[in-house]
Chains A and B, each alone.
Chain A
Amino acid sequence: MKYALLIYENPEAWAQRDQVGDTEYFGAWRAYYRSMVDAGIYAGGDPLHAPETGTTVRHRDGRKQIQDGPYANTKEQLAGFIVVELPSLDAALEWASRCPATAVGAVEVRPLAPEQKRRVTCGDD
């Protein structure tokens, strides 16, 4: 099964991105990424730019609304995602618990829904 690890970070973690040189947090991320690749479970993913770089689009009452900022106005913001291929939720939770972001934010584990994708793509993946 494929799971998305949705990485949420607090403002302090975001601030670390602007620091020059290696921080402990970055070192931990590098090691984490490597161990996923070595274990053969990494199936993709990317970090996201800061939430203030987000722009949110809605259609309401026939009008397009474009708004500066992320969809949800919370302290911990979506910071990136990783897709992993693992046999069960427990295995995914174990990998999520190794993620450095769990110390400064949270990681949500969500199964991907390939059957929904097939409905959209009419079967051709």
Chain B
Amino acid sequence: MTDSHSARSAVESAAREYYGRLIAFLSARTRDVASAEDALSEALLAALASWPETGIPKSPEAWLLTAARRRLVDRARHEKMRAGSALTLEVIASESFHVSPPGPFPDERLKLLFVCAHPAIDPDMRTPLMLQTVLGLEGSEIARAFLVPPATMSQRLVRAKNKIRHAGIAFEVPEPRELPERLEAVLDAIYAAYGNGWEDAAGVDTRGRGLTEEAIWLARVLLEVMPNEPEVQGLLALMLHCEARRSARRSSEGHFIPLSDQDTNRWSLVMIGEAERLLAHAATFARPGRFQLEAAIQSVHAERARTGYTDWHAIALFYERLVQLSPALGAVVAHAAAVAEVKGAQRGLELLNTIDSRAVTSYQPYWAVRAHLLKGMNRYGEAVEAFDRALGLADDAAVRRQLLDRLTEISRF
């Protein structure tokens, strides 16, 4: 007999630790993620019911696997009556699917991550799929983070899982020649969970949408199964650097504090330390990439906690390489802001002016940086106009307030 409280926490911790591994293993051969999820949630319920009676098994994950597997077999037998799930039945009846507890079972999570970020999957659905299948997040939680109605998100997740199954997307690690592109899709999907737009050097640092911990968790899973890809380390380092500043990003009144004004005493040295170690290890591979460069830029910012100043020269150089590597709008704008710090607002503005104006009509950071630079050049009339645009495009109340403060400063001139 185990008391129900410790049985419950044993189920919870087994679910937390093994959810993704179990889903990946159960669906890798059948390609049927939805059935694997159903089977696992039934197995978890069964564990909640029986572990208080029978005690916590020596190998909870093997217990869950056996229970989930039994449910998959039952279900496939039942479905065979109606439609052909011959593949499923054949696969789960096969030897490869048998694991004798407490033996370990293969970790197929990397394949699952590649399936979720497969080019045949709608890019908007890659992150939600990962969050659900690898981390076990509920559809409603994911819906909240992505600001869509829960029913809509559930529907889209079902459609994506149907596509994986019916289109026959294989659970495979891509071939070497496809790997860089496919890995980038995985990294992009994980980074999308973190939330975009925080890295703007000029201080239009907006918050993530509450999935930051999950994104870091996904990156840790990826690092565990792919320890020799420097970009994976780069991504995790980048997110840790940003996360290290979380509590410094808002004042006690909830006001937004741009990076350059943040109190470095409120940065997490533990996270910065881990990010630095990851980045240093990534560098030993001598295969630079987008995420390593972005992490390196954040690493320079983090140095301020030690040295008391920001080496904008280094930041401008890293941004220059980043723009060469992947000329995303965010990187171009941030490069301009960094150049302005080194060579003056005039040079920064010249770089901003090289961007196609159609690309920036609704890109808030561009207008925030532009306003900041014009203000620095005492071109107040144009600065007010740019502040207005930045203000109108801001989607965060704290950012709006900060812009409003700056605008009020100008109007005193």
Contacts and interface: CB of A to CB of B under 8 A. Distances in A.
B166 A111 contact: yes
Contacts of A115: 83-85
A90 B83 contact: no
- Residues of B contacting A: mostly: loop
Given A1-B168, A111-B166, A89 B120 contact: yes
Main SS class of interface, A: helix
B84 A111 contact: no
Contacts of B166: 111, 113
Contacts of B172: 88, 90
B84 A114 contact: yes
A119 interface: yes
A93 B175 CA distance: 14
A87 B170 CA distance: 8
Nearest to B119: A93
Contacts, number: 33
B167 interface: yes
A62 B258 CA distance: 68
A9 B130 CA distance: 36
A58 interface: no
B84 A88 contact: no
A118 interface: yes
Contacts of B167: 89, 109, 111
B125 to A, nearest CB: 16
B17 to A, nearest CB: 30
Interface string A78-114: 0000000001111111000000000000000101011
Q: Which of A3, A89, A111 has the most CB of B within 10 A?
A: A89
Contacts of A119: 83
B162 to A, nearest CB: 11
A86 B208 CA distance: 42
Interface string B116-154: 001110000000000000000000000000000000000
29 contacts: A1-B168, A3-B168, A87-B168, A87-B170, A88-B168, A88-B169, A88-B170, A88-B172, A89-B118, A89-B167, A89-B168, A89-B169, A89-B170, A90-B169, A90-B170, A91-B170, A92-B168, A93-B119, A93-B120, A109-B167, A111-B166, A111-B167, A111-B168, A113-B166, A114-B84, A115-B84, A115-B85, A118-B83, A118-B84
Interface of B: 83-85, 118-120, 166-170, 172
| Residues of A in contact with B, size category | 10 to 19
A87 B171 CA distance: 11
Interface string A1-14: 10100000000000
Contacts of B118: 89
Nearest to A116: B83
A22 B107 CA distance: 53
A107 to B, nearest CB: 13
Contacts of B84: 114-115, 118
Contacts of A91: 170
Contacts of B85: 115
B111 to A, nearest CB: 12
A3 B120 CA distance: 14
A67 to B, nearest CB: 32
Nearest to A110: B167
Contacts of B170: 87-91
Interface in A9-38: none
